[in-house]
Chain A
């Protein structure tokens, strides 16, 4: 019980320190979506555009203004990219330090949990702020589900950023990999305008941001529950987080981590 409490306190301290020591990063997490939303408000028109939303076996057609469409799409895309970038920083920077801490006795599970606590803090904050901002600027049919969709995008792309961060030895290729997938998927192919008119939509459906983006669009613009998008998003979320946990455990556990040495010695 005492050991459990000690680990809990360590998890809290590690995750709080990580957020506390990066105030500029946290500020930018608020400022960057605001800039994107502001640019959309400034440039988008009230012209109506037809849009297709994926509901599994069927597809719904809705008519939206360019402003409505742009606001929701841009928010989803920027949430995915920022979550991936934040997680890349969280899981890549100073990893050598935490490997040394593992040598000193830090349990890799405690480290992973602390990183996840910090990561989830960032993603919940990002999803909540984006939903609140959108709710003030446009009509959202199901605000809670919109929040859920944003949260799932940030979790999936955050996990992707974390995987790249853990596995990559240097920062530049890791960053470029984040930019590649986040821009290609969340920032381009999931644009509902592009998806609605796409010749080959099957490939777009295989990408990680597809289901959470469709969840956001269906919740924002229709009153219908989108079980297929929710199920697909959860599956992607669980899979990416499982891969991230595996990657962290593999990198943290050297052949003789403190735990292994302790067990061997006693």
Chain B
């Protein structure tokens, strides 16, 4: 049950949302993005928002290339996918060699990288990332923050949800959720 959750993410801000397991962080985000219908009130959301859900949702039979090709052709109301940026991300995340792999054969960390790439590929104005670094090694964790810094520099705002938020200096603001309420 969520009540009185007032959360704002300003332009070029990195905002954290933390709280213990099961406190409703993901539920709040799903309501914001329209995956769940709130019992009362209205939700407005920029259609260009990039989202990396906590769940493993990727199509197991598609290859990474097929998935990226499909996602690349979908963005509505936004500009076409920047292939140069996609290549840069593929290289930074060390995903190039996995392009022809079926997604079901990826390791947990690589699967997570594909999910992250799916969210950032269109360089959205708002990024909502739910436990985006699960399964990353330390090097990849640093690459993740490099990618975030670059996107924020280009105008993206980031809302990062995690039950463990390290490197608090990287955030402009951190909200803590407990018993369905948010505290800044």
Contacts and interface: CB of A to CB of B under 8 A. Distances in A.
Contacts of A99: 35, 57
Given A17-B66, A255-B37, A259-B76, A265 B59 contact: no
B150 interface: no
Prevailing SS type, chain B contact patch: loop
A225 interface: no
A146 to B, nearest CB: 34
B36 to A, nearest CB: 8
Contact of A103 (B35, B43, B77): B35
A258 B35 contact: no
Interface of B: 33-35, 37, 43-47, 51, 53, 55, 57-62, 66, 70-71, 73-77, 118
B74 A266 contact: no
Prevailing SS type, chain A contact patch: helix
A100 interface: yes
B130 to A, nearest CB: 12
A200 B59 CA distance: 47
A261 B70 contact: no
A251 interface: no
Interface of A: 6, 10, 13-14, 17, 21-22, 94, 96-97, 99-101, 103-106, 254-262, 264-266
A97 to B, nearest CB: 4
Given A94-B59, A254-B37, 17 more contacts: A10-B73, A21-B62, A96-B55, A96-B57, A100-B57, A101-B74, A103-B34, A104-B75, A105-B47, A105-B77, A254-B35, A256-B35, A256-B45, A258-B76, A259-B76, A261-B34, A261-B47
